[in-house]
Chain A
Amino acid sequence: MIEVQDLTKTYGSVTAVDHVSFTVNKGEILGFLGPNGAGKTTTMRILTGYMPATSGTARVAGFDVFNDSIEVRRRIGYLPENPPLYPEMTVESYLDFVARIKNVPADKRSGRITDALQKTSLVDKRTELIKRLSRGYKQRVGLAQALVHDPDVIILDEPTVGLDPKQIIEVRHLIKGLAGSHTIILSTHILPEVSMTCDRVVIINKGKVAAVDTPQNLTTQLKGGQKIRLEVKAPEKSLQEALAQIPGAGKIQIESPRQDGHLLATVEAVPGQDLRSQIAAKVVERGWQLYELRGVSLSLEEIFLELTTDDAAHAQPTN
């Protein structure tokens, strides 16, 4: 549905987007993850036909975003970072205007507007002036605006910013519900959002793609695999020694004893190996008391930090 090839955007000497390539399949939700200023908004603006790229191509539904811009814009619903609202309009008249400029035929207009209002739970606010709405409601009006013409592709720039936790959950549900019939790209710098809503993630940093994968693969496979945490009552030195003897064990970290004398240790394992039973056996063999033993996979946060704080040399695409 969306194909992006070597997309580059420079502003003077600043390169905001640097040879970004990715594809999004029909009905998929793609998460765009990166710190502020990574180039997420610029990429989205190029995809929506708002600004042209310096080089590279992007196609939406087979149409080039620059040469067939109008065709692309017909098929896209876009929520920019700041919802583009007219404060003096009522919610309904605003959506009517958007439906008109998005070429929704007159006989379908009121149906589509009602539909968008229902999906964003704005039905009882339809006659309210936009300027009287709270931040969360304004965000929802922005979302309704992106849905009103029932576009094939929906591009959402930080859709949950400014919402309270309950609203965030609602919006995530809404986005998940839209997938399948719509292709969705959403950007965010909030990690749980990506793992909860997206089918695939593009991690972008300093204009470059750092990784493209499913959230599950990113959390399990990437960067050295599993870690094992254990809580045990044992002398520190001999524990270190004993753990190091286990084949396949990597770096071992032991925190200084807590008040009750328990030690917390973290063992990094070689990818693909589960050391838990061996560690348990070792502890029992030495006659120590084992209180906890569990595998920890790297969280998205850790992967994200690792990918985005590494040197440029390490920030090359990993797959």
Chain B
Amino acid sequence: MRSIYAIYRKEMNNYFVSPIAYVVIAVFLVLCAAFFNYFLTAIIQESFQMEMQGMRFGAPADFDVPTQVLRAFFGLLSTLILFFTPMLTMSVYAEERRRGTMELLMTSPVTDLQIVLGKFFASLSLFLLMVLPTASYMVFMYLRSEPRPPWALLLAGYGGVALLGGSLLALGSFMSSLTESQLIAAVLAFSADLVIWVINIFFIRGSLGRGNTVLQYLSVIHQYEDFTRGIVDTSALIYYLSFIVLFIFLTVRSVDSMRWRRA
């Protein structure tokens, strides 16, 4: 435990002494704010139109603006996560390998699993730090909107963001452990993210029948959609947790394999 914390501490320290973390977080938040603002105005406008139509044709439409905004926003977050997590994980192992500091970690009395977990928790913390400021929009919505945004949707939405983020971070870290180049690590992570993102639409038109359901289950974004509706499905939870465990396991194997390769 102490060793995991030592690795975690060093990782966090390194994130915040290099400009990468600041730039990534700043750009992410600017994009989030811009899109949130856009969704808010667009959906409020839409609701006015609906109301006017309702007045003209009788039967006023039941239109819940906060829920619509939140759904659109969580949908957007998932897309931004796809683009931003590879940048958070690209250096995790690649840079240590390039500098030869992996040799220090691997000759210290820490197990490979402790190294991998320390690094994973650090990247997850950084990710949560990146996403957390967007909760301030929710506070604002909560204070000013009518009806109030549903708590269940908020919590499920952020839970989904954390799980989706954790999965892509685990995948990205694994990719980073395969190479000494940060750029290659980022490209590999992004491509792999994209593939598991759209794995269901690749075949959705094909006549795979059963296979379609399986592919749909495998898509990270399909699993995420329930969360944006405020539903926490056990199968989605199991999906994300096993995804994270699988890639942590693969990363441990990959770190171990560095011992067998010629340096």
Contacts and interface: CB of A to CB of B under 8 A. Distances in A.
A85 B102 CA distance: 10
A76 interface: yes
A7 to B, nearest CB: 16
A52 B259 CA distance: 7
Interface stretch (B107-115, B119-127, B181-189, B229-237): B107-115
A48 B107 CA distance: 6
Interface stretch (B4-12, B27-35, B172-180): B4-12
A74 B82 CA distance: 40
B105 interface: yes
Contact of A73 (B5, B100, B102, B109): B109
B196 to A, nearest CB: 32
Interface string B224-261: 00000000000000000000000000000000000110
Contact of B100 (A71, A76, A80): A80
Interface in A78-101: 78, 80, 82, 84-89, 93, 97-98, 100-101
A180 B147 CA distance: 77
Contacts of A86: 10, 14, 99, 101
A102 B99 contact: no
B99 A101 contact: no
A145 B102 CA distance: 14
A102 B259 contact: no
B7 A76 contact: no
Given A51-B259, A84-B103, A102 B13 contact: no
A22 interface: no
A103 interface: yes
Contacts of B13: 89, 93, 97
A101 B262 contact: no
A274 to B, nearest CB: 50
B103 A102 contact: no
Given A70-B111, A74-B109, A102-B109, A85 B260 contact: no
A11 B262 contact: yes
A49 B256 CA distance: 12
A147 to B, nearest CB: 14
A11 B263 CA distance: 10
**Which of A73, A85, A86 has the most CB atoms of chain B within a 10 A radius of its CB?**
A86
A145 B104 contact: yes
Interface residues of B, number: 28
A291 interface: no
A45 B109 CA distance: 15
Contacts of B23: none
Given A51-B259, A100-B6, A84 B104 contact: yes
Contact of A85 (B5, B99, B108, B262): B99
Contacts of A288: none
Contact of A76 (B2, B10, B103, B107): B107
A180 to B, nearest CB: 24
A290 B57 CA distance: 130
A84 B263 CA distance: 14
A69 B244 CA distance: 28
Contact of B17 (A78, A89, A102): A89
21 contacts: A11-B262, A45-B263, A49-B106, A52-B259, A52-B260, A82-B100, A84-B104, A85-B99, A85-B101, A86-B99, A88-B17, A89-B17, A97-B6, A97-B9, A97-B10, A98-B104, A100-B2, A100-B9, A101-B6, A102-B109, A145-B104
Closest 9 CB pairs of A and B: A100-B6, A84-B104, A84-B101, A48-B107, A88-B17, A74-B109, A73-B109, A101-B108, A11-B262
Given A50-B107, A101-B105, 18 more contacts: A45-B263, A49-B107, A50-B259, A51-B259, A74-B109, A78-B103, A78-B104, A80-B100, A89-B13, A97-B10, A98-B108, A100-B9, A101-B7, A101-B108, A101-B110, A102-B108, A103-B3, A145-B104
Interface of A: 11, 45, 48-52, 70-71, 73-74, 76, 78, 80, 82, 84-89, 93, 97-98, 100-103, 145
